[in-house]
């Protein structure tokens, strides 16, 4: 897709952005800007590398500059939870924020998205946090691997922000049995304890299973760099024991984990579908209109793969 927009940047252009550390790998600007152009919005979507210790002041700066909204990626999703003034049910449910919408009070005293205000909004502006990752993950697993969590057995790698959301969503969807593995075992144990309290019907265990599983799901950042080790210890869990392997990483398109899984005979998919669907929902939260999903899908695939 050519790098073209509905209109040139001018003094009335509004802004959204993704914040991460690192963030250069992000494909979000490519497909979000395609969506904005298709909607005829005089907005631009940017990407900023933000160190974790600077996150609060950057969110405050975006609020002051009246950005429409923000996305948060690794490692900011848990940190941002305490940096917003309001939380949507989705953020409260999963304890992480990957989307922020800036809002102001309208004439009736109601908090409304900045997208609804002509020009600069007067008065107080607040940040409301949302989580669009959980639903996006389930939708991508269904579309890309024909996988549904109900009754399934899953090995989840990672107990950070993405891993916690994934564990809770899988439990919400009725996963049959869930194994949690994390570099720091205590973090996996914390997630297991939370699930035991909120979803007692789900069998949760910390460590590798001795039996085959339906799905291995990577929610760690291992694989972003060529020199990264595999996120799974294949001595403890050979990948041939898994039917499906999903890696939330989408760049590189085939991570070392997916390459090893494919060689072991597994069906595999990367995180491109999850990225698409979380971004589609974020755009709809910001603008209050249905997003042009297929336009955004084509732009994302072309950006990452070089073809549609």
Q: Active-site residues: which are they?
A: 77
Cα→Cα distances 59→66, 143, 161, 245, Å? 10, 33, 18, 35
**CA dihedral defined by 195, 159, 244, 252, rounded to 10 degrees?**
150
At 283, list the tokens. 């755009």
Residue whose C-alpha is closest to residue 59's, from 158, 14, 126, 117: 126
DSSP state letters, 20-65: ESS-TT--HHHHHHHHHHHHT--EEEEEEE--GGGHHHHHHHHHHT
Phi, then psi, of 162 in degrees rounded to 5: -65, -40
Residue for token pair 């939380």:
87
CA atoms within a 13 Å half-sphere pointing along the CA-CB vector of 257: 32
């Amino acid at each position: 897709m050519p790098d073209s927009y509905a209109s040139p940047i001018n003094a009335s252009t509004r802004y959204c952005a993704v914040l991460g550390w690192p963030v250069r790998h992000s494909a979000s600007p490519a497909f979000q800007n395609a969506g904005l152009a298709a909607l005829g919005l005089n907005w631009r979507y940017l990407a900023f590398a933000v160190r974790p210790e600077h996150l609060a002041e950057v969110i405050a700066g975006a609020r002051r500059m009246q950005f429409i909204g923000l996305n948060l990626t690794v490692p900011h999703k848990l940190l941002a939870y305490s940096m917003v003034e309001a939380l949507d049910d989705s953020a409260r449910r999963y304890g992480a924020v990957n989307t922020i919408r800036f809002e102001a009070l309208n004439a009736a005293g109601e908090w409304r998205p900045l997208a609804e205000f002509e020009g600069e909004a007067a008065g107080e502006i607040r940040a409301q946090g949302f989580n669009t990752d959980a639903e996006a993950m389930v939708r991508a697993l269904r579309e890309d691997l024909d996988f549904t969590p109900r009754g399934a057995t899953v090995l989840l790698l990672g107990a950070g922000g993405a891993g916690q959301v994934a564990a809770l969503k899988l439990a919400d969807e009725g996963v049959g049995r869930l194994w949690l593995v994390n570099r720091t075992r205590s973090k996996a144990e914390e997630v297991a304890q939370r699930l035991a309290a909120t979803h007692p019907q789900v069998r949760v265990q910390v460590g590798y299973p001795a039996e085959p599983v339906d799905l291995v799901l990577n929610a760690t950042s291992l694989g972003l760099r060529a020199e990264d080790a595999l996120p799974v210890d294949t001595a403890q869990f050979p990948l041939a024991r898994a039917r499906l392997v999903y890696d939330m990483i989408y760049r590189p398109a085939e991570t070392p984990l997916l390459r090893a899984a494919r060689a072991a005979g597994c069906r595999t998919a990367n995180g491109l579908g999850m990225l698409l669907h979380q971004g589609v929902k974020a755009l709809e939260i910001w603008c209050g209109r249905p997003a042009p999903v297929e336009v955004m899908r084509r732009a994302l695939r072309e950006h990452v793969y070089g073809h549609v």
